[in-house]
Amino acid sequence: MKTNKLKLAIALALAVPLAGCFGSDSKQETTAVEKTEIRLAMMQPPRTGLSPLSDDAFKLSRWSTAETLVNLNDEGNTEPMLATEWQQVDDLTWTFTIRQGVKFHNGADLDAHAVVLSFQKAFEAAPKPRILDGIEWQVRALDDNTVEIKTEFNDPLLPSRLSSPQLAILAADAYQENGRVSPIETGTGPFILTEINGQSSAKLERYDAYWGEKAKVDTIIADYVPDGFARAAALRTGEADVVEAVPISQIAMIDSELLHEVSMPRTNTLYLNNQSEVFSQLEMRKTAASAIDRNQIIETVYENHADLAKGLLGPALPWADSYRTPRLEQAIERRASGEKIVIGTFTDRAELPEVAALLKQQLEAVGFDVELDIREYAQIENDALAGRFDAFILSRATVLDSGDPVAYMQSDFGCNGSFNLGQFCAEDVDQALDHADLQELGEPRQKAIIAAERAILDHYAAIPLLHERVVQGESARVSNAKRDPAERRLIDQTTEVK
């Protein structure tokens, strides 16, 4: 329920009704010893009740309540978290030593058996977490402190896979008989998730028995504010301390000292439905690609706060461009003949409806008849995954799960990918992705990834438009909020408020 203060602030700032609200819990508590509280304006509400086996896992990670065996540092390298060390015993066998002395938020002890249970539940999930697409493991506890994982192939990426927030380790009580997973008081992080208020908000408290450095903030109130203008208003009025994804259009109205631009491994992409009546035709996909003016989108919608897409992977992965060879497009003007297409996108990222409007103009200029379907993401995702659009505009993180783009490519462009918005399947692409996934980390893997990217783009399976720079808002009273390109951390134990 909105506070009167926020209602007034938004009304004065915008003079239009906006989606998103701040719960009454966002007021600081007054006690004998005043508690410190940090207030977040999150961009999207949870899709599955904050199940860690879905994309909601990244909220649990950003709030530092659920943890994984392995962490990825700022350089994308693996480091210990709930596992203190690991080794590859042979080509198909790894062992992980579990950190001792860790307690779940409900008081249960972390041990190897709890780890095995969490992995078993991930494999049983429908759908499975993206990071497990095409993956099968045999997992068992060798003793109370050691987990063995046997793979079907020599997988150099295994430790990085285990850093995916969707493979967070939760207490046994999290896994309920109806198949649901509850993260309330079942994580191991420096903050305990204590309340889930549906599509409105969540509340977390400091966990004083945390195994590492204790948090400096007592309480986190996370409100879901899908409307970007409302998030910007909350930052301007001081109603929120940390704001996800401030819309570009609102930057000029906010004190620049409160805004922090982060180059993201995130690509704004037009996915073409390769099974639709229109875009099942390669020539129609090429026609759409030739019509798009990326520079106009960047200049008009993003006010140059974005980078031109040369491929699926952007400048946040600096090695990508060094392995690319120029793609030679045929210098001919292709035209459609009134083919009707429906393009879907969502309002949660404020720029996407504007991108859709520009794409509509550009595609209609070459003969397409374009209809737009724009909703909140939670209302449109199922239709997108079911292939009910001819095309879909998505802002897509390309290294979200493992710090490596192969998992993203397999999920989005593999024949059995769980997030295949383009309904795309090509044998040569599957072979290229399988080859890339077998390569050692470093130059061999990077070259194979770019070869797979080239195969995908040669099919015109999707049209990469631009690479985003996300603008994060932080009030003057906050210090050490995380500006994480990988979108895994927002608040941790070092974050403070005045």
CATH fold, domain 4-52+189-241+475-497, is D-Maltodextrin-Binding Protein; domain 2 (3.40.190)
- Residues 183-199 as b/e (b if ≥16 CB within 10 A, e otherwise) read bbbbbbbbbbbeebeeb
Q: Lowest-confidence range among 37-46, 125-134, 240-249, 255-264?
A: 125-134
pLDDT, tens only, 294-318: 999 999 999 999 999 999 999 888 8
Name the burial class of residue 330, with classes exposed (0-12), middle (13-18) and buried (19+) by CB atoms within 10 angstroms of its CB.
Answer: exposed
Q: Contact 495/479 with Cβ under 8 angstroms?
A: yes
- Strands 146-151 and 391-397, how do they pair? unpaired
Per DSSP, the three-state class of 159 is helix
**Residue 8: is its pLDDT beyond 80?**
no
- Residue 264 has a pLDDT of 86
| Residue 455: predicted pLDDT | 97
pLDDT class for 332, splitting at 50, 70, 90? Answer: low
**Residue-averaged pLDDT of the chain:** 91
Give pLDDT, residue 4: 43
Are the beta carbons of 81 and 68 closer than 8 angstroms? Answer: yes
What CATH number is given for 263-469 in this structure? 3.10.105.10
CATH 3.90.76.10 describes domain 70-174: yes
Closest to 415 (Cα-Cα) out of 467, 456, 355: 456
Is pLDDT larger for residue 270 or for residue 487? 270
Share of the chain above pLDDT 70, in %: 92
Q: How large is the average pLDDT for residues 423-428?
A: 98
Helices (H) and strands (E) in the chain, counts: 12, 19
pLDDT tens column, 230-240: 999 999 999 99
Question: Range with the lowest mean pLDDT among 117-131, 288-302, 354-368, 417-431?
Answer: 117-131
- Measure the CA–CA gap between 496 and 476, rounded to whole angstroms: 11
Distance between CA 480 and CA 187 in Å, rounded?
22
Distance, CA of 104 to CA of 188 (rounded, Å):
5
More confident residue, 265 or 426: 426
Return the closest-CA partner of residue 452 out of 427, 419, 430, 420: 430
Domain ranges of the chain: 4-52+189-241+475-497, 70-174, 263-469
Beta 496-497 vs 369-375: how paired, if at all?
Answer: unpaired
Enter the pTM of the model.
Answer: 0.77
332 vs 55: CA distance, rounded Å = 41
Q: What is the 3-state secondary structure (H, E, C) of 218-272?
A: CEEEEEECCCHHHHHHHHHHCCCCEECCCCHHHHHHCCHHHEEEEEEEEEEEEEE
Above pLDDT 90, what percent of the chain?
78
Predicted local distance difference test score (pLDDT) of residue 329: 58
At 196-211, the pLDDT tens digits run 999 999 999 999 999 9
Q: Tell me what the mean pLDDT of segment 69-87 comes to.
A: 92
What pLDDT band is residue 32 in, cutting at 50, 70 and 90?
low
Summarised one tens digit per residue, pLDDT across range 363-390 is: 999 999 999 999 999 899 999 999 999 9
